Amino acid sequence: MSSDKAHAAEISLERAHPSYVGIWVWLVLLMVAGVLASRLPLDHSAVVTLIFAIAAVKAGLVALYYMGLRFERGVIYAMALVPLALVVMLTFLLLPDFVFHHH
């Protein structure tokens, strides 16, 4: 990990803010897209895949731009991604007992 000085330098560079309002417009459009997608006359699993893909993009936009992950270093990414990976792993390891079992 690099030092605080380097970090301070980063701050002092008056980093170029992304257009927060622009991101918000995207978020709202994606929200509408998600709601519309849920009404699509498709296979249920396809609809579910679609709306969660849209949700993931929304969450990614918030995390990257509003939470500033885009401008962070690796350690902060790890703090966000390792728990996500653990949750996915937990979900998959629970599947055999609750979804694939036969009563």
Partner 1 sequence: MTVSVQEVPGVGSEEPVHQEPTGFWRRYIFSVDHKMIGRQYLLLSAAMALVGGFLAYGLRWQLAFPDTWVPGLGFIGPETYNVLITMHGTTMVFFVAMPMLLGGFGNFLIPLMIGARDMAFPRLNMLSFWTIFTGSLVLLASYVVPGGAAAGGWTGYAPLSARPIYTGVNWGLNLWLLAHAIEFASFLMGGVNFLTTAMTMRAPGMTFFRLPLIVWQELTAAVVFLLSVGPLIAGAVMLLMDRIAGTSFFVPAGGGDPLLWQHLFWFFGHPEVYVVLLPAAGLACEVLPVFCRKPLFGYRWIVYSTFAAGILSFIVWAHHMFVSGMDPRLAMPFSITTILISVPFAIMVFAMIATLWGGSIRFATPMLFALGFLAMFICGGLTGIFNGSAPANIPLHGTYFIVAHFHYTLLSGVFFGGFAGLYFWFPKMFGRMLNERLGKVHFWLTLIAFNATFFPMHFLGLAGMVRRISNPLQYPSLEPLQAVNVFITLSAIGLILAQVPFAFNIVRSLRAGEPAPANPWEATTLEWSTASPPPHDNWGETAPAVYRWAYEYSSPDAGEDWLPQDRLLALKP
Partner 2 sequence: MEAIATLPGAAAAHRGKVGIWWFLASEIMVFGGLIASYIISRMGGPGWEAEAHHLSVPLASLNTLILLTSSLTMVLACAAAERRDLGGVRTYLLCTIVLGLAFLGIKAFEYSGKIAAGILPGSAPFWSFYYTMTGLHGLHVLAGIVVNTLFFLGAAKVVRHPHRVEMGGLYWHFVDVVWIFLFPLLYLA
Q: How many residues touch partner 1 (CB under 8 A)? A: 17
The one among 8, 40, 42, 46 contacting partner 2 by CB under 8 A: 8
Burial (Cβ within 10 Å: 0-12, 13-18, ≥19) of residue 62: middle
- Write out the binding residues for partner 1, residues 3-32 only, by CB under 8 A: 3-4
> Does 82 participate in binding partner 2 (rule CB under 8 A)?
yes
CA 23/CA 96 separation, integer angstroms: 40
Q: Taking CB under 8 A as the rule, does residue 33 contact partner 2?
A: no
Phi-psi region of 2 (alpha: psi -120 to 50; beta: other; left: phi over 0): beta
Kind and range of the H or E run holding 76: helix 74-98
Could you say which of partner 2, partner 1, none residue 46 binds, taking C-beta under 5 to 8 angstroms by partner kind?
Answer: none
Phi-psi region of 19 (alpha: psi -120 to 50; beta: other; left: phi over 0): beta
- Which residues of this chain interact with partner 2, rule CB under 8 A? 4-5, 7-9, 11-12, 17, 20-21, 23-24, 27-28, 31, 34-35, 37-38, 47-48, 51-52, 54-55, 58-59, 62-63, 65-68, 75-76, 79-80, 82-84, 86-87, 90-91, 94-95, 97-99, 101
